[in-house]
């Protein structure tokens, strides 16, 4: 399934689509955050905030 289709499903309230997006992108987003802040704890927090904002 394409990302655009998943995003449409998220906007329509499909929680399964949210899970798929998190599974696909969490590790990449976490690694970018870790590169930027250099501490695992901060990178974890920022990655979580990223997904929370996405879900809003």
Q: pLDDT tens digits for 7-34?
A: 899 889 898 998 999 999 999 999 999 9
Q: Which domain holds residue 31?
A: 25-56
Residue 9 covered by a domain: no
Specify the pLDDT at position 1: 80
Residue 36 has pLDDT above 90, yes or no: yes
Residue 7 covered by a domain: no
Q: Which residues have C-beta within 8 Å of that of residue 22, sequence separation ≥ 6?
A: 51
Q: Which residues have C-beta within 8 Å of that of residue 56, sequence separation ≥ 6?
A: none
Residue 29 covered by a domain: yes
Residue 52 covered by a domain: yes
Cα separation, 49 vs 44, whole angstroms: 9
pTM here is 0.78
Domain count, the chain: 1
Residue 33 covered by a domain: yes
Residue 17 covered by a domain: no
């Amino acid at each position: 399934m394409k990302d655009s289709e998943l995003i449409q499903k998220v906007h329509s309230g499909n929680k399964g689509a949210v899970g798929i997006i998190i599974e696909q992108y969490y590790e990449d987003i976490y690694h970018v955050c870790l590169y930027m802040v250099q501490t695992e704890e901060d990178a974890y927090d920022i990655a979580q905030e990223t997904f929370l904002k996405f879900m809003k």
